[in-house]
Amino acid sequence: MLIDTRDSHLDRDDPSLPPADVVSLTAGVSLAAGLIHAAAAPGHFKELWLYGVLFAAVAVAQLAWAVLLYRRPEPRLMRRAAIGNALVIGAWIVAHSIGIPFGREGVETMGTLGIMATIDEVFLVLTPWLLPAVALRGSRGDRRRYEYAAIALSVASFSALLLAGGHH
């Protein structure tokens, strides 16, 4: 096991729930994405208050989902988070390809933090299907690959956040 979760709030007797260590790693990916959005929110408030509100709301949602997932990794919660993260990815694609129809003119430039957050979100969109398949029905090797992917995403995101100093 990669993370000691003996003090976890997960119901260890429920065989329909993924193991606590896999859930913790997945929650870490959402935590990383949420912290990136929290770090980017102040700059977006300066640009247009609505952008700042949207970034702050995404940050709160992703941070809250990390906690909720850790406490009770229910499929319904995972699907709702996948939809929310898919909407965030869609907004990111629009902002960086054709531009947002209000506020700034033109497209937003791509930065390391935005790219990392989007990669995290893609992982979280796939979570409702990956997590149960790998953690409950997959082989030990499948589970390890999932764990390593979650660790790599979290480490890369946290490293990018520290190196960028909150600038996306």
pLDDT per residue of the chain (168 residues) written in tens, 0 to 9: 444 444 444 455 666 667 777 888 889 999 999 999 999 999 888 888 898 999 999 999 999 999 998 888 888 888 999 999 999 999 999 988 888 877 777 778 888 899 999 999 999 999 888 877 776 667 778 888 888 888 998 899 988 888 876 555
| Assigned domain for 145 exists | yes
pTM of the model: 0.82
| Assigned domain for 83 exists | yes
pLDDT of residue 15: 65
| Assigned domain for 10 exists | no
| Assigned domain for 12 exists | no
pLDDT of residue 147: 86
How many angstroms separate the Cα of 72 from the Cα of each of 83, 86, 134?
18, 21, 18
| Assigned domain for 73 exists | yes
| Assigned domain for 11 exists | no
Give the count of domains, the chain: 1
| Assigned domain for 3 exists | no
Domain, as residue range, for 45: 20-164
| Assigned domain for 14 exists | no
